Amino acid sequence: RFDSIPLAPPDAILGLTEAFAADTRSEKMNLSVGVYKDASGVTPILKCVKEAEKQLIESEKTKGYLPINGQPDYRSQVQQLVFGDRVESDRIAMVQAPGGTGALRVAGEFLARQCSPTRVFLPSPTWANHNAIMQSAGAPVESYTYLADDRRSLNFEGMLSDLRDKTRPGDAVLLHACCHNPTGVDPTAEQWQEIARVISSQGLIPVLDFAYQGFGDGLEADAVGLHTVLDKCAEAIVCSSYSKNFGLYSERVGAIGLVASNPAAASASLSQLKVLVRSNYSNPPRHGAAIVATILADQELTRLWKTELDEMRIRITQLREKFVEGMAKQAGAPDFSFLLKQKGMFSYSGLTAMQADELRTKYGVYVVGSGRINVAGMDEDRMDWLCGAVAGVLS
C-alpha cells in the first residue's frame, strides 16, 4: 500500500527549481530551467499577450469545453505558423495540446499504438524529459549519436551512420527543429538536407520537437530544418510549443501537427489522436490558445509579437557575448567562445556533474547536472560574479 511506496528522485530540471526556491541565499542564480528572464530578472508577460488578454476578457462569452482537438481558430493559425503553404491542408491533422510536453506525450502514444513496432530514436544527449515521455507513452526508446566528443559540436557523420545503420523502416526519429536542448548545437542548412535525405531513404518517421522557434536566428531561419524535412518526407509529426516564444509557460500551449501522405490517412490519424486526448485529459485548456490565436489573427499584435520575440533573441545573444567576455577575464579559465556559435537558451558548459554540484552548494548558482546552462537566465549586472563562480569550480 501507500506506506511502502519508495521516494522518487527529484526531476532533473524542475527539481532544481524547487531547490532554488528553498535556497535562502540572496546571491543565488537559477540557470537550470529553460525560462527567459529580462534585465530586471523577471520572466515578463509580453505586451502582445497583455493586449490580447484585454481583448479576450471583453469578447469571451463562454467557458464551455473546447473540441477534443482544440480551438479551431488556434489550430488554423498555428498550422499556418508551422507549415505555411508547404503541405496541403487536407494532409495535416492538427491537435491543440497542453504545451510541448503534452504534444510529445500524445505523439508518443500515437506512435506506440498505431505504428508499432516503431521505436523512437532520440539524439544523445537530448532534453532530460524526452526519454521519460516516450517510455511512459509505451514507445520503445533508442538513441542516435548527436554531440561530438568535444561536447560542443555536432558529430554529423556519427549521426548519419546511426540513422542509417541502427534503424529499421518505420522507426521514428526525434529531431530538435532548432535550438537543440540541452546543447545549443544545431545542424547547418546543408546538414539538414542530408539528414532529411537519410530519413526519407530509410523510410523513417521524423518527429520534430519545435519548442524554440524564434530563439535561434529568427522565426523564418529557425524553420529551415523543419521545412527541409517536410520537403523530403511524406509523413512527419511536429510537436510545437508556445511556452517560450509567446512567454506562455504556465498556460500550457502547444500543438501536434501530423502530416500524412494523403487526406484519408490524415483523417484516420486525427480520429486516433482524438481518442488518445479524450482518455488523457479529455480536451485542452482554452485561455493560452485563445491568446495565441488572438495575436496571430491581428496584424498589429503579430507585428508587436515579432518585435518582442526579436528582443528576447537579441538579449540572449548579448548575454552569451558578455559571459564569454567575462570568462576571458578569469585567469586560467578555458576559452568559452564556442558558446557564441550555439543557438537558443542553452549551452553545454563542459561542467561535470560534480562541478555543477559545487557551483550550487558553494555559490548558489543552479545549472543542470549535465552541465547545461540556461544563458537566458543570466543576470547581466552580476556577470563578473557569475564568471568568477564558474572559474572557481573549474580551477
C-beta of 266: minimal distance to ligand LMR in Å? 29
181, 183, 347, 355: residue in contact with ligand LMR (rule CB under 6 A): 181
127, 210, 336, 338: residue in contact with ligand LMR (rule CB under 6 A): 127
Matching residue, cell 499584435 = 301
Cα 376 versus chain centre, distance = 14
Which residue number, 34 or 123, has a Cβ lying nearer to ligand LMR? 34
Within 8 A by CB and 6+ apart from 238, the residues are: 82, 83, 177, 207, 208, 210, 226, 255, 256, 257, 258, 259
Distance CA 289, CA 97 (A): 9
Which among 249, 238, 304 has a CA at the least distance from the CA of 51?
Answer: 304
30, 69, 129, 167: residue in contact with ligand LMR (rule CB under 6 A): 129
13, 387, 393, 394: residue in contact with ligand LMR (rule CB under 6 A): 13
29, 34, 70, 141: residue in contact with ligand LMR (rule CB under 6 A): 34
Query: Exactly one of 37, 232, 244, 343 is catalytic; which is it?
Result: 244
The verdict on whether 209 is a catalytic residue reads: yes
316: cell is: 540572449
Which residue number, 79 or 129, has a Cβ lying nearer to ligand LMR? 129
C-beta of 196: minimal distance to ligand LMR in Å? 25
Whether the CB-CB separation of 225 and 178 falls below 8 Å is answered with yes
The verdict on whether 127 is a catalytic residue reads: yes
Which residue number, 17 or 55, has a Cβ lying nearer to ligand LMR? 17
DSSP class of residue 68 equals T
Determine if 195 is a binding residue for ligand LMR (CB under 6 A).
no
Which residue number, 15 or 388, has a Cβ lying nearer to ligand LMR? 15
Cα dist from 378 to 127, 242, 322, 368, whole Å: 20, 22, 10, 14
The verdict on whether 329 is a catalytic residue reads: no
C-beta of 378: minimal distance to ligand LMR in Å? 15
Within 8 A by CB and 6+ apart from 203, the residues are: 169, 170
Distance CA 390, CA 265 (A): 52
Total residues interacting with ligand LMR, rule: CB under 6 A? 6
Enumerate the active-site residues.
127, 209, 244
Residues in touch with ligand LMR (CB under 6 A): 13, 33-34, 127, 129, 181
